[in-house]
Chains A and B, each alone.
Chain A
Amino acid sequence: MQPRPLVETRKLSRILNDGPQPVPLVQDIDLRIEAGEFVAITGPSGSGKSSLLYLLGLLDTPTAGELWIDGQDTARLERAALARLRLGKLGFVFQFHFLLPEFTLLQNVMIPMQKLGRLEEDAMRARAGQLLTELGLESGHDKRPDQLSGGQRQRVAIARALANDPLILLADEPTGNLDSRNGQIVFDIFSSLAARGQTVITVTHDAGLAARTGRQIHLVDGRLEG
């Protein structure tokens, strides 16, 4: 039997049913993403890019179809089990940094590790510091997020996403709130992570950035194109 890909979907759909008429966000997505791939999800705004990412990231639940992650059928999992899967195997970077304002950078990066509880306090601290350093934040780990620039905050958010050494790094327009220079820096980080074998799935509407990824998935009106 052939080994399963890291991510596999079959007829994956998410349809909003709360309004007077059902609104399809994504429909009939058949997708395979292998470990180590650097994938960009592209498409015009409203095409369902983010919705697909939220489904792949187990933040949203599909209304139909199958989603297998790392060989697990996610439809069978309870919400608590989905949360555990997100914690151990997925890392998120959003357009907004979502750092906790009352915690230091180091503490923010440590949160996923603390919840996972696999490392000792000292080891978590060391790993968080190392991640921040690798992402170009060599000092000021005890600062609070509001003392940082937007680009720096986004790098802290990436460090947090990488904290538990995820199988998949999921990013939703990670450069959307940044100027082009900082956008470049963040995208360079993704490229180098991908070069080291990290699976990365990113949503972007920037064709220039998407061109630098290994594979592009184009969505139109919630369906795969091409």
Chain B
Amino acid sequence: MGLVLELALGHLGQRKRQTLVSVAGVALGVGFFIAMMALMGGFQKYFVTQVIDSWPHIIIKDEFRDPERQPVDLRYPRGAVRLEGLKPRDELKGIRNSREILAALEDGPYASAPTLRTQVFFRYGSRDIAATLVGIDPKKEVRVTQLAQDMVEGSLDALYSNANGVIIGAGLAKKLGIGLGEMLSVTSPVGAVLKMKVVGIFNTGVTALDNFESYSLIKKAQVLANRANVINQVRIRIPDVTLARQVAQELEGRFGYKAESWEESYSNVLGLFKVQNGVMYSAVGAILVVAAFGIFNIISTVINEKRRDIAILKSIGLSEADIRAVFMIQGLILGLIGTVAGWLLGYGLTEMLAGIRFNMEGFVRTNGFILDRGLQPYGVAAAFALLSAIFAAWLPARKAARLNPVDIIRGAA
């Protein structure tokens, strides 16, 4: 339909400045959406990959999802009986039937590794730092995390050759001011003290791990915790990480102990991401709504100015659909040009962000923005922009199509 396009372009050509402003509005929305998506998507994806790689997908813990119920509660479920001064039984913590659980997991499709996790104090020189010591079996540990690949100094196997060896995170080493081969003293909550030698330093990129975690042989952790032959966590890695939630549920049902997927362990951060995305979508949505108002405005103005043209076109024999199309096309053109300009702007902003260098230590350590340069945001932004342009054009276009030529012709005479 060449005529309709010619008419549409003729109208826009007469209002170049307003056209430019409308296009700029759309371009800003699209451009910022792309840049923000690259920024936040990049960070979020990076964080998730780091977590997935350096954290077990599922951890079976020595706790239960529901607190233990007291006998009174069980006897009189909804009774008006109340006992005060209750003292729950002091049970030894740990996974009781760990041997059977581990054996069962060995036969299953998932990789597993037993650990004993305990809080300790590292003392080196005048520094005292609280951290978590994870007793591991290095041979099994490599099946569930990428600890071996994350080693920056020393090695995981050195734990075998140094009975009192300990591997600490890079952040922890920095805080202690300790290097490879140095001795430090480790104090446990039950009062045991061990002199241990740093045989490895790892760096995962996830601050929570690098600053607060350390690893030793499981036997040493058991000595420190004074709990011989006890483990309190089973770490599991599954082939398809997206199924972690379901598998965790299944394992929990099977073994009774609380099985936590990585999503649950990091639910606070993942929840934050959701809020972040919500904020971003609202901000970009607001920009695009403003852009849509711009389009609505220019098309309404054109229609008001072109009432006589619309009247003569209708009397010549253009249908209502033709008239509607003339103005819808204008909206679409504004949306399209705005989208393409926005793509360029978004690309430029992304590259600009990529050029910025700084050191940051938050959830992850980085020396610049981590950007996701995927094409998906380009498509999403284009869809948003075109839809809002079409909607903004639709309302005035419909009105234009319904104009009664007789009223206008009478008025013009």
Contact = CB atoms under 8 A, between A and B. Distances in A.
Answer yes or no: do A and B interact.
Answer: yes
Interface of A: 50, 54, 57, 59-60, 79-80, 83-88, 90, 92, 94-96, 98, 100-103, 107, 111-112, 114-116, 160, 172-173, 176
Nearest to A81: B319
Nearest 4 CB-CB pairs, A to B? A87-B317, A98-B312, A114-B3, A102-B10
Given A83-B319, A115-B322, A173-B413, A54 B314 contact: no
A98 B412 contact: yes
B181 interface: no
B413 A176 contact: yes
Interface in B387-413: 405-406, 409-410, 412-413
Interface string B1-36: 011001100110110000000000000000000000
A223 B306 CA distance: 35
Contact of B316 (A50, A96, A112, A176): A112
B11 A87 contact: no
Interface of B: 2-3, 6-7, 10-11, 13-14, 308-309, 311-322, 405-406, 409-410, 412-413
A110 to B, nearest CB: 9
A80 B14 contact: no
Contacts, number: 82
B317 A115 contact: yes
15 contacts: A79-B319, A83-B314, A87-B317, A90-B317, A95-B412, A98-B412, A100-B7, A102-B11, A102-B14, A103-B10, A115-B316, A115-B317, A115-B322, A116-B317, A172-B413
Residue with the greatest number of chain A CB neighbours at <10 A, chosen from B13, B311, B312, B314: B312
Contacts of B10: 100, 102-103
B413 A94 contact: yes
Contact of A83 (B6, B11, B317, B409): B317
B317 A95 contact: no
Given A100-B10, A100-B309, A102-B13, A92 B316 contact: yes
Contact of B410 (A50, A87, A100, A111): A50
Contacts of A59: 314-315, 405-406, 409
Contacts of A57: 315
Contacts of A112: 316-317
A94 B412 contact: yes
